[in-house]
């Protein structure tokens, strides 16, 4: 096998193996999206419920033309936001597309994106097929934003992790469904509703708007299980202080508290910085001997919507 990690990755992918690669959002567990055997390995490694479809990653818009139908709106958004942390759910081209049925979980839409991380782009540009890739964590566990997170969670079950440093965005991509009559925001992310609004006159129907306090009502991606980003410890939201048995995640100037382990998401109260550190904070506190994780309130604005969405899921009881 060749020495350089990128060539190794390409070799493994061609052999129907899975490879972990960095993206600007979170690390992805990639496999050949046109090969059932390869995609089946993703589900096996993640222990993922079969009904949950996967995002397919491409190097260019041209490369996705055989697989999805891009409306004029989809093309405008694609040109503006790609490469970047936006996933579009589009009608799948049943004729001519080689994408595995497993990727779509049998459905007639396909979720696609072009990631921005240079290593991901290099891999995709050199790869003769697109890569299906969910976040590289066991199903139901925290998304990884460093290669070390992946090693801790998936350990020996994957042959190669391409090391690409810390993910700069730190939260999974925004998912916008353009397959129906009205655009639907399925998952909040760093590209926010107000970033998307200028491109759509009929943006989101009133009943689909994310409302303060109830963002979960509209999040309908099949994989958006209630408890999804669960750390080991229970979570206490909207905490204004913390006790000695708690780990404490703060935002903005920290209040006085008695917590033994504290992670400052952003001392200056910057939501983008907080998002980039969010999963790291949960991973770090997961390793501590504490009873609970207390989290200060995060404003419901901009990418704060996405952080609150992940927090609410992390705090939900896990399905048994």
Residue 186 binding ligand TXA, by CB under 6 A: yes
What does the alpha-carbon distance between residue 146 and residue 165 come to, in Å, rounded to a whole number?
6
Say which residues have a Cβ less than 8 Å from residue 111's Cβ, sequence separation at least 6.
Answer: 53, 54, 55, 56, 87, 88, 89, 90, 175
Q: How near is the Cβ of 241 to Mg ion at its closest, in Å?
A: 32
Q: How many residues belong to the site for ligand TXA (CB under 6 A)?
A: 26
Which range binds Mg ion by CB under 5 A, 96-104, 116-124, 134-142, 194-202?
A: 134-142
Q: How near is the Cβ of 135 to Mg ion at its closest, in Å?
A: 3
Near ligand TXA by CB under 6 A: residue from 13, 20, 31, 55: 55
Residue 192 binding ligand TXA, by CB under 6 A: no
Residue 135 binding Mg ion, by CB under 5 A: yes
Neighbour count for residue 79 (Cβ, 10 Å): 9
Residue 77 binding ligand TXA, by CB under 6 A: no
Q: How near is the Cβ of 143 to Mg ion at its closest, in Å?
A: 5
Near ligand TXA by CB under 6 A: residue from 224, 227, 260, 270: 224
Residue 161: Cβ-neighbour burial (10 angstroms; 0-12, 13-18, 19+): buried
Cβ distance to Mg ion smaller for residue 83 or 223: 223
CA nearest to 305, candidates 189, 173, 143: 189
Cβ distance to ligand TXA smaller for residue 173 or 266: 173
Q: How near is the Cβ of 33 to ligand TXA at its closest, in Å?
A: 11
Which range binds ligand TXA by CB under 6 A, 33-41, 218-226, 250-258, 304-312?
A: 218-226
Say which residues have a Cβ less than 8 Å from residue 21's Cβ, sequence separation at least 6.
Answer: 9, 27, 28, 30, 117, 119, 120, 123, 131, 133, 162, 164
Chain centroid to CA 114: 13
Residue 87 binding ligand TXA, by CB under 6 A: yes
List, edge to edge, every strand of the sheet that includes 86-91: 19-21, 28-32, 131-132, 55-57, 109-113, 86-91, 174-177, 184-187
Residue 222 binding ligand TXA, by CB under 6 A: yes
Residue with tokens 């479809």: 53
Residue 31 binding ligand TXA, by CB under 6 A: no
Residue 23 binding ligand TXA, by CB under 6 A: yes
Q: Give contact residues for Mg ion (rule: CB under 5 A).
A: 135
């Amino acid at each position: 096998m060749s020495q350089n990690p990128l060539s190794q990755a390409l070799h493994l992918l061609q052999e129907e193996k899975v490879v972990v690669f960095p993206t600007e959002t979170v690390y992805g567990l990639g496999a050949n999206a046109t090969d059932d055997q390869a995609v089946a390995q993703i589900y096996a490694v993640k222990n993922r419920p079969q009904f949950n479809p996967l995002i397919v990653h491409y190097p260019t818009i041209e490369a996705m033309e055989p697989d999805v139908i891009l409306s004029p709106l989809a093309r405008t958004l694609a040109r503006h936001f790609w490469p970047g942390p936006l996933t579009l759910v589009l009608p799948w081209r049943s004729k001519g597309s080689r994408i595995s049925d497993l990727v779509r979980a049998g459905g007639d839409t396909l979720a696609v994106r072009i990631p921005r991380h240079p290593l991901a782009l290099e891999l995709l540009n050199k790869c003769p097929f697109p890569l299906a890739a969910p976040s590289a964590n066991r199903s139901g566990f925290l998304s990884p934003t460093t290669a070390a997170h992946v090693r801790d969670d998936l350990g020996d079950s994957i042959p190669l992790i391409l090391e690409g440093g810390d993910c700069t965005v730190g939260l999974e991509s925004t998912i916008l469904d353009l397959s129906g009559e009205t655009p639907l925001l399925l998952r909040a992310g760093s590209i926010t509703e107000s970033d998307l609004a200028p491109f759509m006159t009929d943006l989101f129907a009133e009943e689909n708007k994310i409302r303060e306090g109830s963002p979960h009502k509209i999040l309908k991606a099949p994989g958006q299980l209630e408890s999804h980003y669960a750390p080991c410890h229970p979570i206490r939201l909207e905490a204004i202080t913390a006790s000695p048995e708690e780990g404490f995640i703060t935002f903005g100037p920290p209040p006085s508290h008695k917590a033994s382990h504290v992670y400052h998401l952003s001392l200056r109260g910057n939501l983008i910085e907080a998002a980039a550190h969010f999963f790291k904070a949960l991973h770090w506190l997961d390793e501590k001997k504490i009873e609970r994780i207390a989290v200060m309130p995060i404003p419901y604005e901009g990418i704060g919507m996405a952080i609150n969405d992940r927090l609410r899921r992390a705090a939900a009881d896990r399905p048994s």
